[in-house]
Structure 1
Amino acid sequence: MNRIWIHVLIYVLLFTFSIQEGMAAEDKQPVTNSEAVILMDGKSGQVLYEKNSDKRMYPASITKILTGIIAIEQGELEDKVTVSERARNVDGTRVYLKEGEEVPLKKLIQGLLMNSGNDAGIAIAEHLSGSVENFAQVMNTFAEEKAGTENSNFTNPHGLFNKDHYVTARDMAKITKYAMQNETFKEIVGTKKLKWNGEEWKTTIINHNRLLWRYDDATGVKTGWVTKSGHTLVGTAERGGMELIAVVLKAKNAEQSYREAGNLFDYGFENYESAAIPAGTTYEQDGVVYELEESLSYTRKKGTVMTEKVTRKGYLLVEADNGILTTGKLSKVSETSGEPVGTEKGEEVKDKDLSWKDAIFQWFASLFSTK
């Protein structure tokens, strides 16, 4: 009789903990009223929250994220760029370049990304590609081939309105993920202040992205505004080894864009964590030893139990309870004479973490078990 009550107690405790776990799993969703938003893990690329993330939107000056990373990768930062009449007379925000002025390319990139200089954007485009029109072709090719964009189109380097110049929140997150892997880009967008000594303008530039002051873990990136786009913002933040990217499109005002980006970051840091499997990790399946070719990053909800499976064709699947999170390519290293490993023929299952429910049950069972 006592053993029956012990088992009843165990299952009551498990049921209670399950309810609590279920309530915790129903995490509070971030409040977002902007037209399109997305939250992406900057390492794994996994999307943690989204709303209208594939809707075509007008980006305004967050376009300059793409212009900046192209300039850094394809230009020589110490090159002297001669400012044209077209650059000098462009509309909108400027760094007040003088026609004929010679400016180092890196300085133009700083003026582009920190002070949103449209004149700097034109000067960069003409220097690298000969014309704005040619540079737009470079932008589209670069975005697709390097960042993997699928539903965006660029017609200029600065983001002034053009009906054929559009992006999606998802594509902007992809572009930013790619750009933030470059240390020069990351340094520039994370700089709060910069002395500017131009021929016609001498000042201290204050980064337009006030998220750098408003969110403690912010690391970048860029704001934008034109009438058709509303307020746009791409922000990045890092905490505890986790990197997040938030894209907010068509907010009513700057305050809303900063608040919603902060809400997205809080949601990501509070509910998720980043993990990685190092390159070179080995797995044995059906007598064959495989090795992971490249480091594999993924993002999981906190407390989630993960499994790793090797398929019959030699691919690694990283899974959570709700499905596959990511896959990795394995290379065949050698063959052994050992028996197949795993719970199913053709698959190896490696439980990285023991479920807390299993652990509790095993602990209780060990206390009260009899031989």
Structure 2
Amino acid sequence: MCLPRTLHAEEAVPQAPVLQSEAAILIDARSGTVLFEKNATERLYPASITKIVTGIIALESADPEELVTVSKEARNEDGTRVYLAEGEQVTLGNLVYALMLNSGNDAATAIAEHISGSKALFADKMNAFAKETVGVFDTQFTNPHGLPDPEHYTTASDMAKIAQYAMRNERFREIVATEKMPWNGLEWQSQLVNHNKLLTTYEGTLGVKNGYTQAAGNTLVIAAQRDGMELIGVILKASTNKVVYAEMTKLLDYGFAAFEPRQLFAAGETYEYGSVEAGETSRMFVAVEELWTAVPKHEVADMQVDALGAITMSTPSRTWTAGMLKLQEPPVANAQVMSAVDAGTGVSDASEEDGAAANSDWELPIAGAWLLMNVMLGTIAYLKLRKRAMRRA
């Protein structure tokens, strides 16, 4: 049983925010525990938060120092640009900075063409990444930048998981946390300025990306860290730029005020399920890695592990799944003994059979050695007798 933090008299239990935006979610970045959601599985246009996917694929697929040659199509891409010139060569890493800070659609197209040969083929790679690498299935991409397309959509829940994955990459974290950097292009000499306003206005913000199109409205994905807990918030289809930032601030404030991280198991820690004394089947589970969750600060949180190893946390206000333990297989010999007991044959029978098998393993070699030794001794004795007889003769 986990005890809640003591609530002081002047404190009020934090209340979940009421949001105007169409969809939103807040998760604990370490465990994925959902702390708040509104229409989190509704399919909506993502706009430029699409570039989170483009950026992490670029960093995982190629060397950031590779030179990318800008095509005519990239040069003439619609929307926000960093004014790449046709034929200009830029490192892939710098293009990711242009993508994530200045939201360059031309940088997105240049990256896609460099990695996959075309935007269409890169979109296939994005969709495979979402399903096979991250494990989300309500997201589909048709381009690398997020310009409107009826078949280009995501959900708040899926985008939170994508951001959670991307933020585990140290180079990606470094890029999205950058406020400004110089830009010396052939057609544009200036500096990239991160469009994410919370990076400089909300304490603990680590990134990630904002977006806007008329069809998508304002979208925003934010990662922020305070007091040892990292949160990821997603808002889709906010009515204005002011609203999306104000509501994300409310969402993060709620998360940090209402929840705290809780380690459930250390890596390698075991948990015994069932009681032999009570006539239950005993099973031993093990944590393959550290298992964490986020719990309400002001409520008692109980943990239960079921017969399959699934961990469930519950408080008076909510219940959630908090991970899985792995069944620890018993040693083979113990398994044989348990099988004998379960079959009603008794441990003694199994022990006799096991003993006979064990005896046969060592008795034969010893018997063979004993026989060889006797043959050798007999031969030596015979040779000595023969030698004495010859001397007498």
**Fold-level similarity (TM above 0.5):** yes
Farther off after superposition, 160-169 or 277-286: 277-286
Shift of 1:289: 4.4
Residue-by-residue CA offset, 1:297-353 (whole Å, 9 max, x unaligned)? 21111133334444444x1524223434323222426589xxxxxxxxxxxxxxxxx
Which of 81, 95, 111 aligns to 1:108? It is 95
**Residue 292 of structure 1 aligns with which residue?**
287
Residue-by-residue CA offset, 1:125-171 (whole Å, 9 max, x unaligned)? 00000100000000001011122212111000000111111111111
Q: Distance in 1 between matches of 2:328 and 2:160?
A: 34
Q: Is the 8 A contact 2:68 2:91 kept in 1?
A: yes
- Map of 1:121-136 to 2, 5 A cutoff? 121-136=108-123
Which of 169, 173, 178 aligns to 1:186? It is 173
Farther off after superposition, 202-211 or 274-283: 274-283
Question: Are 2:124 and 1:161 aligned?
Answer: no
User: TM-score by structure 1 length?
Assistant: 0.80
Q: Is the 8 A contact 2:311 2:325 kept in 1?
A: no
Which of 268, 272, 277 aligns to 1:280? It is 268
Farther off after superposition, 27-36 or 261-270: 27-36
Farther off after superposition, 285-294 or 156-165: 285-294
User: TM-score by structure 2 length?
Assistant: 0.76
Question: Are 2:220 and 1:226 aligned?
Answer: no
**Residue 40 of structure 2 aligns with which residue?**
53
Question: Are 2:322 and 1:326 aligned?
Answer: yes
Matched to 1:326, the amino acid is A
**Residue 54 of structure 2 aligns with which residue?**
67
Which of 51, 66, 70 aligns to 1:83? It is 70
- Per the alignment, in what secondary structure is the counterpart of residue 294 of structure 2? strand
Q: Is the 8 A contact 1:112 1:121 kept in 2?
A: yes
Shift of 1:270: 0.4
- Map of 1:234-313 to 2, 5 A cutoff? 234-276=221-263, 277-285=265-273, 286=275, 289-313=284-308
Task: Sort the Cα spacing of 1:40 and 1:288 in 2 relative to 1 into closer, same or farther, 3 A.
Answer: closer
- Per the alignment, in what secondary structure is the counterpart of residue 300 of structure 1? strand
Q: Distance in 1 between matches of 2:253 and 2:307?
A: 40
Q: Distance in 2 between matches of 1:316 and 1:152?
A: 27
Farther off after superposition, 223-232 or 132-141: 223-232
Residue-by-residue CA offset, 1:189-226 (whole Å, 9 max, x unaligned)? 11101111111111121101111012111111111111
Q: Distance in 2 between matches of 1:213 and 1:243?
A: 17
Shift of 1:293: 1.2
Q: Distance in 2 between matches of 1:44 and 1:310?
A: 17
Shift of 1:279: 0.9
Q: Distance in 1 between matches of 2:213 and 2:36?
A: 26
Q: Distance in 2 between matches of 1:266 and 1:46?
A: 17
% of aligned pairs identical?
Answer: 48
- Per the alignment, in what secondary structure is the counterpart of residue 244 of structure 1? strand
Q: Which sections of structure 1, spanning at least 5 residues, go unmatched?
A: 1-16, 337-371
**Higher strand content, 1 or 2:** 1
- Per the alignment, in what secondary structure is the counterpart of residue 127 of structure 2? helix
Shift of 1:30: 1.0
Q: Distance in 2 between matches of 1:320 and 1:166?
A: 33
Task: Sort the Cα spacing of 1:324 and 1:65 in 2 relative to 1 into closer, same or farther, 3 A.
Answer: closer
Residue-by-residue CA offset, 1:83-126 (whole Å, 9 max, x unaligned)? 00000000111111110011100000000000000000000000
Computed over aligned residues only, the root mean square deviation of the Cα atoms, in angstroms, reads: 2.1
Q: Is the 8 A contact 2:305 2:312 kept in 1?
A: no
**Residue 7 of structure 1 aligns with which residue?**
none
